[in-house]
Structure 1
């Protein structure tokens, strides 16, 4: 089955919050036919209607499944409780979403094996609920899951070894590079568990990456992240998703450039 290309809607979060309809129309005009929603439970119905109106599917989405409260994009915690898995999956059904991916767990939860075991337990429990509804559960990495090591094994790989076979992974290629790892080798080790990747490039300039959000990100193929090699190593890839955490220039133009690069890389797969 061909790899589906998509865009993480967090990339256009400011435009999306200001005008849902016109933002999705602009993404469609730039060539996107699929998107990965974030924080979709609170707006499932209007989001689904706007996606349909613009011919955009939502095969995957981000929602917290292994945390009890929302985590901000900068990693800081909140006291705002997250919806239950059943409520998340209800919203996913409205959107026609078949894979719900946990986007983030706090770095302090990756300091011991026992903490990772607890994250695996929560994801496995959500996967059990999701399986009865035809929805897969996944996990998305940042750098800290890879910077943590246990007897020479990264925290992400330890997590993968503890997960129910039904739980999949979405590997963020930029954050793998930020953690200093060889992403093609990591993807080969993770094997068929990886069904999605975030295709995100950057210069990895030390001063720029020290900022939050990172200030080094560039259109896919224009930085130093080994995207082509990583995509080739992802043997079970189903969805490849363009994303920027931050971009100072013409964001929609950068998205269009990234999509053209990505479409060329996955053509014929």
Structure 2
């Protein structure tokens, strides 16, 4: 089995990327990344592709909503057009997989809601194939609140989606959702093709549970990979088909470039990436 390749989610440095796209990408290349995971790319694919090429980087994956008309973030929503526009932009950049990063909590609370999410993503997968792309889903913690006959809403979703739908498991948010993270990685098996390598101290209660207080990214206690509560080593070793190990911070604890470099060092020193 080949090792995953390292990447970094550009949301981690959204401010720096917006202020100086070329400079931010050059810094990531200097740190040692060859790949990034694109974010907020739909409105400017040509510009992003040119900047990636100038820095010697590729974006095999990217985040964009496919099941709603806006991309949720802890600090506000970003409007996004219909899937065909997303797929065209992704293809122009040279991606292989478009990953939906967030579906609203209320849609995960019923079996019918979960079935609808799965069916919509299956249809998006069929449409993406006409652009030469695949689709995937990235979790937060709302997918682990409800359960049906002892099965979490997330794993029910996995069961209902076609094998061609990729799974990107955010290891920090799976822990925040109360999961035994290495065991979940093992159960997902070959369906799990990407992980978000993220560490820190998970919120005491699931932020999307009914009655929970709202939160912003600056309220999260996140740290360099290997220094928090997330069992990253065990989770990464449990994977059988992971292709991308994507460094991400929702809230970088210090200088974001130093922070992503520290997490890349964890992946390399542990022998987790090629």
Please give the TM-score of this superposition, normalised by the length of structure 1: 0.93
| Residue in 2 that maps onto 1:70 | 70
| Residue in 1 that maps onto 2:105 | 107
CA contact (8 A) 2:64 2:86 kept: yes
Deviation at 1:222, TM superposition (A): 0.8
CA contact (8 A) 2:245 2:273 kept: no
C-alpha separation in 1, matches of 2:54 and 2:109:
45
Deviation at 1:206, TM superposition (A): 3.9
| Residue in 2 that maps onto 1:47 | 48
Deviation at 1:262, TM superposition (A): 1.2
| Residue in 1 that maps onto 2:83 | 85
Which residues of 2 match residues 144-223 of structure 1 at below 5 A? 144-204=142-202, 206=204, 211-213=215-217, 214-223=219-228
Q: Deviations over 1:30-67 (max 9, x none)?
A: 11110001111111111111111111110100011111
Structure 1, unpaired ranges of 5+: none
Distance 1:120-1:173 versus aligned 2 partners, 3 A rule: same
C-alpha separation in 2, matches of 1:91 and 1:54:
19
Residue aligned with 2:73, SS:
coil
Distance 1:157-1:193 versus aligned 2 partners, 3 A rule: same
| Residue in 2 that maps onto 1:14 | 15
C-alpha separation in 1, matches of 2:257 and 2:223:
12
CA contact (8 A) 2:182 2:235 kept: yes
CA contact (8 A) 1:3 1:266 kept: no
| CA-based RMSD | 1.9
1:238 corresponds to which of 243, 246, 250 = 243
C-alpha separation in 1, matches of 2:112 and 2:267:
38
Count of paired positions? 265
Deviation at 1:76, TM superposition (A): 6.7
| Residue in 1 that maps onto 2:210 | none
Please give the TM-score of this superposition, normalised by the length of structure 2: 0.91
CA contact (8 A) 1:220 1:261 kept: yes
Structure 2, unpaired ranges of 5+: 208-212
Deviation at 1:24, TM superposition (A): 0.8
Residue aligned with 1:100, SS:
strand
